[in-house]
Amino acid sequence: MPSRLYPEDQKRVEEYLSSPVHRVERRPFRVWILIAIVVGSVVGLGLLSRLLAQFAVA
């Protein structure tokens, strides 16, 4: 897809994006860690709600 910017503007954008501030090294995304956090949160909140229900009945 061609750029809709003028060539000099496109050059300034590319210089800005290639500056060291925008070149942050990140670890690769691990989907299994996210799934574990979500499942752990759901299970933990479910157990907490059951515990609170037991206290409410008693």
Could you report the per-residue pLDDT of 2-55, keeping only the tens digit for each? 778 899 999 999 888 888 887 778 889 999 999 999 999 999 999 999 999 998
What is the C-alpha separation between 31 and 50, in angstroms, rounded? 29
CB 5 within 8 A of CB 13: yes
Is 3 in contact with 10 (CB distance < 8 Å)?
A: yes
- The domain tally of the chain equals 1
**1 occurs within a structural domain:** no
Distance, CA of 9 to CA of 6 (rounded, Å): 5
pLDDT at position 4 is: 87
Q: Does residue 40 lie within any of the structural domains? A: yes
In a domain, residue 34? The reply is yes
- Residue 46 in any domain: the answer is yes
* pTM over 0.75, yes/no: no
- Structural domain including 38 reads 29-57
Residue 1: predicted pLDDT: 65
